[in-house]
Amino acid sequence: MAKLDVASICSVAATCKTFNGCASQVLSFLPCFHLLDIAPSIDLLRPLLPPNPYLRSLKVDCSQLSDSSIEHLVRPYLNELCLHNCQDFSGKLLSEVGGRCKDLRTLYLGSVAEKRGRAIHISDLEELLGGCTQLESLSLMFDVSIFLRHNFGRVWAMASEKLSALEIGYISSVMVTELLSPTVGSYPCPNYVQSPILPHIQKLCLSVDYITDTLVGTISKGLVLLTHLDLRDAPMIEPTVTFDLTNPGLQQINQHGKLKHLCLIRSQEFISTYFRRVNDLGVLLMADKCSNIESIHLGGFCRVTDAGFRAILHSCSSLHNFRVFHGTQLTDLVFHDITATSLSLTSVSLRWCNLITNLAVVRLVSNMDLSYLDLRVCRNLGDEALQAVSTLPKLKTLLLDGSDITDVGLSYLRHGVMKSLVSLSIRGCKRLTDKCISAIFYGSSGQELQDLDLSNISNLSDNAILLLAKSRVMLTELRLRECPLIGDTSIMALASMQIGDGGWHGSILRLLDLYDCRGITQLAIRWLKKPYFPRLRWLGLTGSVNRDMVDALSRSRPFLHMACRGEELGSDHWDSSDGLYGHDEEEVDELEQWLLEVEESGGEICKIRYFCISIPGICICISVWWSY
């Protein structure tokens, strides 16, 4: 039992008093406590976190916690602490971590003090940086621009000398520039030069107001060991030349020749804006200085043409990850002679590159090691592209949103790539019908698939979901949002589907998005209650279906993340792939994984049963499968 994760320990504890007692003991010497699937209250968390001198790694979703929980979360022996969604915490969290966690190596704090009335002071940051002297990786995923600029650099001078990775949720470019710029001024002697700030940083990920020449130059010059640079901005107004990236700024990248990963993305979150002052010349000169780079992500370079992007592919011989977003002038010619290079690409994204056609994909698939291919909103791609993609033996993720594919095109995939594919998105492909399901799950095809997005397909009906349920594929995430013909029958079919050949009854879905499915009525809401969908953690609904019933469902399943306003569900959905941060890796339920292995080896799996776990002071209903 000590080898199981927290969720699995709780599930085992629910089966009998003996295991319940064992669980209580195991929790007192468990080295890792990871609970990101649900957002526990303090009453739930307290008995699950007894005194434990052996605890080294703690990861918790803190959506329902506040400062009163700090004493249970901040432990002196921790080496890793990841606290997500800390909206209701104040700056006290930072100061307490600095005061108690002297051996901390990795720290992630998300959304601290975002709730109204909560505040963080510069002294809190000072205590954190001054106290955690062994820190190697720090992620402050909130707005740090709230701190006073004139004290900001002085505080960061106290940071651990071992700090090699830094991520910040939002900071102004001016603050970064002032932080990293050596200062000559009123110090002990007139010629005193301030010691470099953060001299050992190798990985830097920042979301800023503007990516500028000054920002890029300061980072490139000041951080001599930098190997990983991620910068993203989302301007609210069109940048002036002073607050923008230009060709000279781009040429300052990789001054010390150590860079392996580069990400420069201008988001369209607020307005439609681009890096309008960068053209092919800037990219050509940058590519010459980055010949050893292995991964490059570029977003919003609207004046860069095939010549610039082609220079990257032909100059960077070690490149394996190539992603371009909003490449408005990128065409098939970029990949015209890709076979003449020594590249072995494993990950390619061409999202919002509307000029590419099937021909580009045909040439691109000469890279047989591709495992990730993102072709979202490439509207000129059709069935010929899918025929080419079907030859990729290692492809695990394929994103085709908004393309011009048909049911016939999807049928090409089942002859090859469906044997390896884990994630497939065909959202918004208007020419698809119910037959796309039989095209994907023909015979034994598609059995490896875990994540499927069928959203915004106007011709998709309940008949398609019935076919999906009959296929017995073990999907964990299914998105059906904005499918007007999807109704109650689909929900009932998913709730009662049989998994695998051995006889698991009931869906193992962890995420189900039904937002704006106009056929959903009150009947479907009843099928979303316990004991159906026992593994469900994310649910999207239209709140207006029946507000009272939706609220009742939320109360009956307090650990279910419900979204009724059209929010995208899941912490690691596709849209994060063009962002910078990937902390919310999916936690594997080790007990369920073991039971699945038993089923595959011939053991019988009984129907789902529901028990109550009773670790002193807490009672939770949990679903359990067992074999005999």
Q: 229: which 2 tokens? A: 């640079």
What is the distance in angstroms between the CA of the first residue and the CA of the last residue of the chain? 18
As a whole number of angstroms, the distance between CA 53 and CA 35 comes to 19
Q: 10-residue block means of pLDDT along the chain (628 residues)?
A: 79 80 87 92 93 96 96 96 97 97 97 92 95 97 86 90 97 93 53 72 97 97 96 96 96 96 96 96 96 97 97 96 97 95 96 96 96 97 97 97 97 89 97 95 82 97 94 92 96 84 68 94 89 91 79 88 89 44 43 47 40 39 39
Query: Are the C-beta atoms of 543 and 515 separated by less than 8 Å?
Result: no
- What's the half-sphere exposure (Cβ side, CA atoms, 13 Å) at 596? 11
183 contact partners, CB below 8 Å, separation of at least 6: 153, 193, 194
Helix orientation angle between 173-180 and 149-156, rounded to the nearest 10 degrees: 50
Query: Are the C-beta atoms of 271 and 238 separated by less than 8 Å?
Result: yes
Query: Cis ω on the peptide bond leading into residue 393 (within 30° of 0)?
Result: no
pLDDT at residue 506 in the model: 64
Bridge partner list, 140: 109, 168
- CATH code for the structural domain at 170-177+198-314+322-330: 3.80.10
Query: Cis ω on the peptide bond leading into residue 531 (within 30° of 0)?
Result: yes
- Which three-class secondary structure state does DSSP give residue 1? coil
As a whole number of angstroms, the distance between CA 533 and CA 544 comes to 22
Helix orientation angle between 280-289 and 306-315, rounded to the nearest 10 degrees: 10
pLDDT at residue 444 in the model: 66
Q: 343: which 2 tokens? A: 């590249």
Phi, psi of 67, rounded to the nearest 5 degrees = -55, -30
- Which three-class secondary structure state does DSSP give residue 2? coil
As a whole number of angstroms, the distance between CA 34 and CA 405 comes to 41
Query: Are the C-beta atoms of 84 and 112 separated by less than 8 Å?
Result: no
pLDDT at residue 251 in the model: 95
**Reported pTM:** 0.88
Question: How are beta strands 538-540 and 561-563 bridged, if at all?
Answer: parallel
As a whole number of angstroms, the distance between CA 91 and CA 69 comes to 13
- In 3D space, the residue among 256, 330, 260, 320 whose CA is nearest the CA of residue 299 turns out to be 330
- Which three-class secondary structure state does DSSP give residue 525? helix
As a whole number of angstroms, the distance between CA 81 and CA 88 comes to 18
Count CB atoms within 10 A of the CB of residue 516: 19
553 contact partners, CB below 8 Å, separation of at least 6: 525, 528, 529, 560, 562
- CATH code for the structural domain at 331-449: 3.80.10.10
- Which three-class secondary structure state does DSSP give residue 611? strand
Bridge partner list, 588: none
Nearest 5 degrees, angle CA 533-CA 535-CA 537?
Answer: 100
As a whole number of angstroms, the distance between CA 297 and CA 324 comes to 6
Look up the CATH architecture of domain 478-583.
Answer: Alpha-Beta Horseshoe (3.80)
